[in-house]
Structure 1
Amino acid sequence: MPLGEKLNGTLRAFIERQQMFFVATAAPTGRVNMSPKGADSLRILSDTRVQWLNLSGSGNETAGHLRQSDRMTLMFCAFEGDALILRLYGTASTLHPRDAGWKEASARFPKMAGTRQIFDMQIQSVNMSCGSGVPFMDYKSDRSAVEMIPFFEDLGQDGTDAFWRRKNVETIDGYPTGLFGD
């Protein structure tokens, strides 16, 4: 059910309770990408704007897609309590550590090894559906704190840069991600 072009207090509170969300992007051609995200990485800046901190992973599809098309969808599912699926549709841009505005934006998030980019999304529409097909699931803890972040801490910045050069400079469809300013 379309709700309009912005969040309200109820929807903001719902988002803030979620332990994870999903991001979807697509270039004009090639694969659509959808990825789960977590680790205290989302901030609501206003009823029409969110940012999320992107940590290193085996790919960098979102950044490559945004260089081709600025469309982004975020989806939140209730795994506890009342059933609800919330989607935010909008346009997004990528902010790298080398960019103006990085210092201010990154200060909103905890410092985490493997931090790669921040995505800044302008919400254009908000949609809700029942979510009754989503199973109940119990949250235990974030994997990133025990698996991913220590891995990148041990690599250090030089090792992380080498990892990014091997796995994160192009999408699986060959689009450049702009990670090193290329």
Structure 2
Amino acid sequence: MGKIYDSLSERLRSFIAAQPVYFVGTAPNEGGHVNISPKGYADTFAVLGDTTVAYLDLDGSGVETIAHIRDNGRITIMFCAFTGPPNILRLYGTGRVVTPLDPEFPDLLKHFGPHPGVRSVIVVECDRISDSCGFSVPFMTFDQDRTLLDEWAGRKDIQQKRAYRAKNNRESIDGLPALAPAETDPVHQHS
């Protein structure tokens, strides 16, 4: 059965590092839509400390996570074992959005692999770390990462990225503010 942990042990860190996909869940404070985002690219997630994690937020079709975190900070990250022994690990906590405008942004980028189209880094202070059985999670094999998101971002020049973010990343589907105009300027560097 499930267990609650005080910190991310080496065993939990190894489990996280072995998963090719993770899921991020957030919700607005009042009404609106709950959002769950699948995240690939194993090098976009980092354990920063015993109860602190971060992931690289890349350009995408929506900006729900940023809007919800700025609304209330609540976030849950889930890892599932699709191979090996069954396990589900959930990291519950409070997130914050670190954009290229923030002084700590360059240092955070050093924890991740190279990806174009970086919008922000989401840092999470975990207040609950727990696992559960995962007995019904199916076995699935990992072939490879899809490269489409990086390829898409790599084809955009600065003006195209700026226009895309201005159109798609300023507010959530429920109208919550997400990235401010200055924050939608593309990063001139890869992670």
Q: Normalization by structure 2: what TM-score?
A: 0.90
**CA–CA distance in structure 1, aligned partners of residues 127 and 100 of structure 2:** 26
Distance 1:109 1:89 in 2: 21
| TM-score, normalization by structure 1 | 0.94
Q: Which runs of 5+ in 2 are unaligned?
A: 184-191
Residues 125-158 of structure 1: CA distance to partner in whole angstroms, max 9, x if unpaired? Answer: 1111110111111101111x2x111111111222
5 Å-filtered alignment, 1:29-178, equals: 29=30, 30-39=32-41, 40-143=43-146, 145=147, 147-178=148-179
Cα distance in 2, alignment partners of residues 109 and 167 from structure 1: 24
Taking only the aligned residue pairs, the percentage that are identical comes to 37
- Distance in 2 of aligned mates of 1:157 and 1:81: 43
How far apart in 2 are the matches of 1:2 and 1:28?
Answer: 28
5+ residue gaps, structure 1, are none
Structure 1 contact 2–125 (Cα < 8 Å) conserved: no
RMSD: 1.3
**SS of aligned partner of 1:51:** strand
Q: Distance in 1 between matches of 2:33 and 2:156?
A: 30
Aligned length: 180
CA distance in 2 between counterparts of 1:181 and 1:31 reads: 26
State the distance in 2 between where 1:179 and 1:102 align. Answer: 16
- Runs of 4+ residues deviating >4 angstroms: none
Determine helix, strand or coil for the equivalent of 2:136: coil
Q: Whole-Å Cα distance in 2 between the matches of residues 112 and 4 of structure 1?
A: 32
